[in-house]
Amino acid sequence: MKKHNFSAGPCILPQSVLQQASDAVRELDNSGLSLIEISHRSKPFVAVMDEARALVKELLNVPEGYEVLFLQGGASLGFLTAAYNFHKEGEKAAYVNTGAWSKAAIKEAKLLGEVEVVASSEDSNFNHIPAMGNISQPSLHITTNNTIFGTQFKSMPQLNSDQMLLADMSSDIFSQEINVADFDLIYAGAQKNMGPAGTVMYIVKTESLGKTGRAIPSYLDLNVHIKKDSMFNTPPVFAVYTSMLTLRWLKGIGGVAEIQKLNEAKAKLMYSEIDRNPLFKGFAQESSRSNMNATFSITQDDLAPAFDKMWNDAGINGLKGHRSIGGYRASMYNALPLESVQVLVDVMKEFERTHG
C-alpha cells in the first residue's frame, strides 16, 4: 500500500530524490566510490557543495552581500550560533516567543546576555502569532513556522535599516517566496522541508558579522565557515548531497513560486475540511494557521480510536499530534502531493458519515 507521509520531521522527500541519493550511496557518478566514502575535498564533492549553495541563491533570489553555508548541528546549534554572531555585548536582544523552538532559542541567547521577549503567545498555549509593537533592540529573532502548534508568520516584521532581523525558518524554508534582503540571518535545519537530518543551511548578510564585541569559538563563528566555503571541518556529505537533489527537484518543477501555489492549495483543502466537519476542530487561530503543519483535534475523545484505525488503514503515516497539545498534526511539506491531502480529507468525510 502506498503510504501518505504527514510526518512533522524528518520530512517527506520526492521519490526521485530518494532514488538518486540511494544510488549515490552505492556509487557516486560512476566514480567507483560511495558518496559517503569520498573525500569532502575531492572535486566531485566540492562540486556538490557549490551547486547546493548556488541553488539556494537562485531559488530564493539571494542578493549580493550574502553567503550561503551548509553546516552541521541542526537548528538547535543554530540557536547558539545566531546569538554568538549577532547578539551584541552589553545590549538586549529581542525575541518573539511562539512555541517550543523559539523558547529554546531564547534559552541559548540568555547564555550570552540579556534577552527581552517583545511578544509572546504562551498564555494561549501558542495558538497564534502575537502582535508586536515597535522594536527598539538592535536585533530581533523570530521562528517563522511553529511545527508543534501549527502557526506561521503571515508577514515579516519590518525593522529600521540599522536593526537586524534573524529567523529560524527550519520548517517553512523554500515553501513560499521571501525577501531575503529583509534578513541579516536565515537558518534552517534540513530535515523539515529540504533533506535528511544532519545539516543546517545558513544565509548570512556578511556586513552584519563581526560586530558583537565578543570572541567567538571557531566552530560557532560564521566568518570562519564563510572563509572556508562550508569546509572548515568535514561536512555532513549525505545530508548536503540529498538537500542539493531536493533543490534541483524544486527548480525543476518551477521553483519556489510554483511550490507556494501547491502548498496553498494543500492548506486550503485541509483547513476547509477541518472547519466544515463537526467531528474536528482546528487548534491555531485562523489568521495564524501554518501552511506546513495543520493542527486539529477530534471533538469526541471516545471516537479517537475509530478515527485512528481509519486513517492508518488508509495508509496515512505520522498524523499524531505533538504531546504538547495532543490531537493530530498534518504536516504538508513541499514533497507531499495534493493527492495525499485528498486521501486524508476523504477519510475525515467518511468518518463523519459513519460516526457523525
Per-residue pLDDT 10s for the chain (356 aa) are 679 999 998 999 999 999 999 999 998 888 888 989 888 888 889 999 999 999 999 999 999 999 999 999 889 999 999 999 999 999 999 999 999 999 999 999 999 999 999 999 999 999 999 999 899 999 999 999 999 999 999 999 999 999 999 999 999 999 999 999 999 999 999 999 999 999 999 999 999 999 999 999 999 999 999 999 999 999 999 999 999 999 999 999 999 999 999 999 999 999 999 999 999 999 999 999 999 999 999 999 999 999 999 999 999 999 999 998 999 999 999 999 999 999 999 999 999 999 98
Looking at residue 32, its pLDDT comes to 86
Same domain, 278 and 235: no
Residue 324, domain extent: 4-11+255-355
Instruction: Give the count of domains, the chain.
Output: 2
Same domain, 267 and 168: no
Looking at residue 356, its pLDDT comes to 82
Picking from 228, 252, 276, the residue at the C-terminal end of a domain is 252
Note the pTM of the prediction, 2 decimals: 0.96
Residue 87 is placed in which grid cell? 547578539
In this structure, are residues 249 and 17 in contact, taking their beta carbons and an 8 Å threshold?
yes
Query: What is the secondary structure of 59-93 as a DSSP string?
Result: HTTPPTTEEEEEESSHHHHHHHHHHHHHS-TTS-E
Same domain, 181 and 306: no
Catalytic residues: 101, 168, 192
Same domain, 197 and 142: yes
Same domain, 47 and 106: yes
Same domain, 230 and 311: no
Picking from 211, 230, 252, the residue at the C-terminal end of a domain is 252
The values of phi and psi at residue 244, to 5°, are -60, -45
The values of phi and psi at residue 23, to 5°, are -60, -40
Same domain, 210 and 259: no
- Which single residue is written with the C-alpha cell 566568518? 223
Residues 2-15 as b or e (16 or more Cβ within 10 Å = b): eebbbbbbbbbbbe
Looking at residue 248, its pLDDT comes to 98
Same domain, 245 and 264: no
Picking from 220, 252, 284, the residue at the C-terminal end of a domain is 252
Same domain, 148 and 267: no
The CATH number for 319's domain is 3.90.1150.10
Q: Helix (H, G, I), strand (E, B), or coil: what is residue 295?
A: strand
Same domain, 268 and 246: no
Dist. CA 214–CA 199, nearest whole Å: 26
The CATH number for 165's domain is 3.40.640.10
Dist. CA 286–CA 174, nearest whole Å: 22
Residues 6+ apart with CB under 8 A from 51: 244, 248
Same domain, 232 and 117: yes
Same domain, 296 and 232: no
Q: Is 128 exposed, middle or buried (0-12, 13-18, 19+ CB in 10 A)?
A: middle
